[in-house]
Amino acid sequence: MKQKTKGEQTGTFRDIAFAVKTLIQASPRFIFGGIVTMTAYWFFTAYVQEVLFLKKLLEIITEGGTFRDFMGLLLMFCVAALLAKGTDCLGDYFSSVGGKVVYKKLNEKIFRKAAEVDIECYENPEFYDVYKRATEILTDDIYHGVQFAVAEMVSGTFSGIFLIGYVATVDPKLLLILLSVAAVVAVQGRKNRLLYQRDREMTPNKRQKSYVQRVVFLRDYAKDMRTSDIYRVMQKRFHDAIDANRAVIGKYGPKLALFEVFAGVAAEVVPVVVTYSYAAYRFIVKRNLKVADFSVLMTAINNIKDVVRDVSGSFADLQERALYFRNLKQFLAYESHVVSGEREAGTLETLEFRNVTFTYPGAEKPSLQNVSLSITAGETVAVVGKNGAGKSTFVKLLLRFYDPDEGEILWNGVNLKEYDLASVRKQIGTVFQDYKVFALTVNENVLCRECENEQDRKDSEQAMRASGAYTKVSTLPNGADTVLTREFDDKGAGLSGGEQQKIAAARMFARPFALAVLDEPSSALDPIAEYKMYESLLKATENKTVVYISHRLSSAVLSDKIFVFDAGTVTESGTHDELTAKGGLYASMFAMQASAYRETGEEETS
């Protein structure tokens, strides 16, 4: 147990060191500016102004100094004060600007990593949580918090030394008061643990509350909220969460109150009362305390107390916030499983899955089991099957979002893993079911880079004509230079799902590709748009290799090969005619879908 806490301790220090190092690397101005500001402020206020200044002036007054001495000292202090204030402001300027530089640099670091990690990271809740917490550093609260805590610790220690030094010159015994303060710091750890426990117990309720809030306010849920009683479910959840929180707070309340009473008495009441009693004793009984010392002693003790409290509080804050940096460290240290190989991939000639088995991390059952199939360049291949049969997994492995657990995928006869990842992906054009457009101009959305010259514009236009997006785009106020989405441009174009899908599809045509992977590209489209997209995809991919995934079996009819997936394996393969003749799953699925389309076809009775 002891061992473990020790390990945790060093872990914490390492986190703190990492946090500070990361911030200094991002912008030295940020941390150092913060320290300078805070030190200038604290040292000046807590020591120079409230203690030294008053003490010196009072000494002149009570020991019969002249007014000239008094004013001389006063002026000296004023100059010192101006310097301190100036330093304070300058430091603030640097740290405020530095803060934004940190925001930029850290984000860039995170983005670069995010762009490179495996897709798995996004699907693995644990890792995703690490990512999430790492990004939370960029909320002001965390990284400014670290800066603030570091600055406060440095400046607190610095002014603390001077204050303690002063009190010691009056009477070292007085420092015993610090024991009382130290006792509070000592139990602070236990109280923090208690608080942490309490907060953790409330976390599920907090999640519940924020979920209810989201459901109640987001447009996505608005229709269901209005046409059903689901609001009552949410309402109940909400009240349950609040009641649960109250119970947790009630449970911890007495213990925390005890800590607070102790802390209040030991850190606030005892120092004041003891100092007063002590001073009164020396004043009255011994008659050997200077007025100057008496007047500032109180302030000095008070400031020491504040400094100790703040420094220990800062340390606790720092520990807590450094945890987020631990997540950043983990995130940055993540090593992708999908590692790029060395070889430059040649133009696709053959693609083969050989006994490929794959289980998603954390899943029990494999999603693909012993899948073998081969595709030759120039073929159009349809992949069909029921929901959850493994079609999308097949695509993910093909794109190397994941690597197979067993078996291999061969590109021109060589294991896919041996190739440079970029050289493979460059050859693959994709249109996904969950198309995405970005808050960029249409041209940028299509080209996936800035549109630099006339040639780029032409390429983009051609690609959009191929996908059918151009008809709509040409009607936009700024044509292909219109910014999409209203994310941050109120004049941005909000397109319908179908139009967005066409723009996403145009990306594929904007660059050369050897293999097209189309994952349900037409699910958002109306029949005519679907037909047109299908036609244009077909035309544009002539002589190209195409892997087409769709529930619409009509798209399978003309393909050179059909692979039927069922429960993670390929159960049938062949041409439409072959499979229909075979009378298996494909034949029955096709018959079902086709029955309703046949003009004369009556549905078979069941």
Partner 1 sequence: MKKTEKTQHSIPSNIRYIMKLMFSISPGMVLMDIGLHILNRLPSKLVSVIGIRYIIDEVQGGGDTAKIIGAVALIAGIMLAASVLNALGYELYIRKEQENLYRGIHAKLYEKAVSLDLAAYDNSSFYSDFILAVETSSENIQFILGQVRNYVTEILSFIIISSVLLSIDWVCLVIVLVFVLAFIPVGRKTGTLQMQRREAATEKHRRSDYFARIFYLPEYAGETRMNGITPLLMKRFSQSADEITKTQKKYVKKLDILFFLQDASVQVVGFMLVLTGYIGYRTIVSKTMSAGDFVATFNGAVQIGSAVMYLTVYAIRNFTERSKMIEKYRTFLACPVTMKDGAHEAECGEPETIELKNVSFTYPGNETPSLKNVSMTLRPGEKIALVGYNGAGKTTLTNLLLRLYDVSNGEIRIGGRDIRNETIASHRNRFAAVFQDFKIFGATVGENVALSPDYDEKRVMDALRHAGFRKELPNGTETVLLREFSDDGMMLSGGEEQKIAIARAFYKKCPYVILDEPSANLDPVSEYELNRSMAEAAKEKTVIFISHRLSTTRHADRIFMMENGEIVESGTHEELMAQNGKYAYMFRLQAEKYTEK
User: In Å, what is the CA distance from 146 to each residue of 19, 134, 324, 402?
Assistant: 8, 14, 10, 37
Neighbours of 565 (CB within 10 A): 26
Instruction: Name which of 175 and 338 has its Cβ closer to partner 1.
Output: 338
Instruction: Name which of 57 and 442 has its Cβ closer to partner 1.
Output: 57
Does 163 bind partner 1 (CB under 8 A)? Our answer is no
Relative to beta strand 368-376, strand 569-574 is: unpaired
Does 187 bind partner 1 (CB under 8 A)? Our answer is no
Q: CA 92, CA 594: separation in Å to the nearest integer?
A: 72
- Least separation in angstroms between residue 35's CB and partner 1 is 17
Q: Tokens in use for 229?
A: 């009683």
* 3-state SS string for 298-324: HHHHHHHHHHHHHHHHHHHHHHHHHHH
* Residues 112-131 close enough to bind partner 1 by CB under 8 A: 112, 114-115, 119, 122-123, 125, 128, 131
Q: Are 466 and 540 in contact (CB under 8 A)?
A: yes
Q: Are 36 and 91 in contact (CB under 8 A)?
A: yes
Does 108 bind partner 1 (CB under 8 A)? Our answer is yes
Instruction: Kindly determine how many residues on this chain lie close enough to bind partner 1 according to the rule CB under 8 A.
Output: 167
Judged by DSSP in three states, 449 sits in coil
Region of 2-10, 92-100, 152-160, 473-481 interacting with partner 1 (CB under 8 A): 92-100
The one among 487, 542, 582, 583 contacting partner 1 by CB under 8 A: 487
Write each residue from 574 to 593 as x if it is in contact with partner 1 (CB under 8 A), else as -, in one continuous string: --------------xxx-xx
Does 245 bind partner 1 (CB under 8 A)? Our answer is yes
Does 227 bind partner 1 (CB under 8 A)? Our answer is yes
Instruction: Name which of 507 and 561 has its Cβ closer to partner 1.
Output: 507
Judged by DSSP in three states, 370 sits in strand
Instruction: Name which of 203 and 478 has its Cβ closer to partner 1.
Output: 203
Q: Tokens in use for 297?
A: 């002693």
* Residues 254-273 close enough to bind partner 1 by CB under 8 A: 254, 256-257, 260-261, 263-265, 268-269, 272-273
Does 176 bind partner 1 (CB under 8 A)? Our answer is no
Report angle CA 242, 246, 250 to the nearest 5 degrees.
Answer: 170
Does 538 bind partner 1 (CB under 8 A)? Our answer is no
Region of 103-111, 141-149, 375-383, 410-418 interacting with partner 1 (CB under 8 A): 103-111
Neighbours of 118 (CB within 10 A): 20
Does 476 bind partner 1 (CB under 8 A)? Our answer is no
- Least separation in angstroms between residue 602's CB and partner 1 is 11
Does 222 bind partner 1 (CB under 8 A)? Our answer is yes
User: In Å, what is the CA distance from 401 to each residue of 4, 116, 122, 393, 395?
Assistant: 38, 11, 11, 9, 9
Region of 4-12, 177-185, 492-500, 541-549 interacting with partner 1 (CB under 8 A): 492-500
For residues 344-358, b (16+ Cβ closer than 10 Å) or e, as one string? ebeebeebbbbebbb
The one among 161, 179, 182, 230 contacting partner 1 by CB under 8 A: 230
* Residues 374-433 close enough to bind partner 1 by CB under 8 A: 385-389, 399, 401, 425-426, 428, 430, 432
- Alpha carbon 138 to its chain centroid, in Å, reads 8
- Least separation in angstroms between residue 343's CB and partner 1 is 20
- Least separation in angstroms between residue 13's CB and partner 1 is 29
Does 195 bind partner 1 (CB under 8 A)? Our answer is no
Q: CA 83, CA 151: separation in Å to the nearest integer?
A: 19
Region of 148-156, 342-350, 436-444, 462-470 interacting with partner 1 (CB under 8 A): 436-444
Q: Are 353 and 373 in contact (CB under 8 A)?
A: yes
